[in-house]
Structure 1
Amino acid sequence: MQYSPKQLKAKLERTETAVNNLNPVFGVKFQVDYHFEEIQKLRFALFDEDKCATQLYEHDFLGEFICTLGVIVSNKKLHRPLILANGKPAGKGSIMITAQELSDNRIITLTLSGRKLDKKDFFGKSDPYLEFHKQGEDGTWMLVHRTEVIKNTLDPSWKPFTVPLISLCNGDVDRNIKVLCYDYDNDGGHDFIGEFQTTAAKMSEAQNSVEVEFDCINPKKQKKKKNYKNSGFIIITRDYTFLDYILGGCQLMFTVSHEFAINFDPTNPFCSGVEGIAQAYSACLPHIRFYGPTNFAPIINHVARFAAQALQQEKAAQYFNLLIITDGVISDMDETRDAIIQRLNYPCPSSSLAWATQTSLPWSS
């Protein structure tokens, strides 16, 4: 019995296809918002992919498991038999679901590459991909992330990817992480190249200009060959995100328009935190009059000068945000456009300008 298009209309997520595999471990993760006061039913349907099919419901239906999100949240891990659409057991097939609460909002972005990996294909090189596994409390390993396959190379460069730390290592940056390297085969019999273990803390030592290199080791080859060193190298480069800067003590600089200090102190035109900005803004409103023209270029250049001064003083951990609130009227459009373009190429790697506009305010500039 197959699913109809209507039944599959509310599809939440679809995993990748595990080729020629009766015991697949899927790498795709998906997030669901849990509402304690609601009954949230989930259906996990398993299909055998038919390459001639163009729609999901055209694939061969293998079985399903239906439960509420509350059951998954309370159990963390479920292992249940697959049920056919007519309510009868599918046979020996079963499904295992593992859930984790994403209470930690920290993330890590990684860029990986390989060098001098072992040649596995007889008529070519290798088609390498990586798998990241985290170690559970019981010592077992669970798949966290799988990279894309890079065809016919021994020196692959995979796309950067971002993963929550809670998923990668349960938020513990010193928890063991195992990275496995395989040569992809179309028949599903992927060849093992090598592996290494690391931690999020170790990978975080990599910076945009500094790489962390790991020996990719095949234990079987290591035992057989006395002169065996490795099966290549895996290089990790960490890309820093805006959140990384915030967690590292980054300072946020906010300016308002028309180059006057809203605290009326030009010698010290700074406010303490967002609350300080709001207080100063409220205090200055009764004492100013709105008028035109509305020129944006001067304030853009003004903030850029602040950024340049910070760079000269080697205050790298500063992030400059320019918030412009307007009714949409711009009197110096050409000058504003030129100022924005110039600042896009501004030689200040740790500072930038954020542009925001808002319309339909109760006054005009």
Structure 2
Amino acid sequence: MATARLRIGVACENLSSKSGPFCTLMAKSNSQWKEVGRTEVIRNSSSPAWATKLELNYNFERREKVKFVVQDQDMQLLGTLSVTLGTLVAAPGQVYRSIIKEGSGKRGCFIITTENITPAAKKESIENKFTSFIRNGTALNFAVAIDFTASNGEHLEPESLHYRSKPNGKNSYTEAVRALGQILEDYDADNLIPAFGFGAVVPPSQEVSHNFFLNQHPTNPECLGVEGIIAAYTETLAKVELFGPTFFAPIIKYMAEIAKNNQDGRKYYVLLIITDGVIQDFKQTKSAIVDASHLPLSIIIVGVGEADFTEMEALDSDERLLQSNGRTASRDIVQFTELSRHAKKDGTWKKAALAMDVLSEVPTQLVEWMENNGKKPFYS
């Protein structure tokens, strides 16, 4: 596969030390982190912007992570940022901001800018193939699944992630749907988006369901656009009891069955799961993902709230393909992001950056499935 090159600019804000910060770029080599570039030291600055641009050779087909490590001259760790190449490559020139989570705990952030210096034909390889499929007969079909488990908190309590603030009725779940809504509606050809809930006691059976139609229709889960999803969510939230446990496998298996029956290349499915954290069927979920990896399906997990999302990161198998019961996934189909990474100080969201982060791997995943299964654009 052809090798390309990325030029990366790095800056930080609100570091915990002014003692000569510098940044090191690390990449994986034979499962070990190796230094591939280092900036100069900037003295007496807690918000350095390094003049040295870090350069990285990469293979466009691979979705490995790189790591930015900031230290001071005393080798004190000030912050780290891990990010996939797919995210960095997705939009050259884009500024990525990410909260520093290590070090002193101060809420500084990384600011990453990228410039793809690959010849245009190589740089646009995946992008052009993806566009060709979408323009020539392949439809993206999105579905949304929302977490209704009790770990979110009772929806009438202000601390709950499901609490609808007055007068606009917003919460983390509605904002996650709306933040991605424009992208979903732009790509989803008919604007009819299946929407599901999981982890609630649902009438009239009053039993816990891990896969119920958000619009409460007996046979058709489709909602008209993003506002249709929000309306169905609002009505359902008032009728169900938040319960649990949190299971992902049932909804993944449901979507996999749909994808299994549509493998002619005319439809590619993207399941968006919005959740508050830890799942109780991790092994079953891994197995369901491995089973689905040979189907025209991608899974995007968006974490809301401040829970431990370690398991979500484990499902997002960027460094190596997911394994379950001695089986290995045929490709990586999961992308995970935390909604809080894209929050502004005024309570709004950096919607463009969130959408780009969440959807950055879909073009590669779609093209990979098409090529693995000998599919070509229908009308080209």
Per the normalisation by structure 1, the TM-score is 0.33
Structure with bigger RCO (C-alpha 8 Å, 6+ apart): 2
Computing the radius of gyration from Cα coordinates, the structure with the larger value is: 1
Whose helix fraction is larger, Structure 1's or Structure 2's?
2
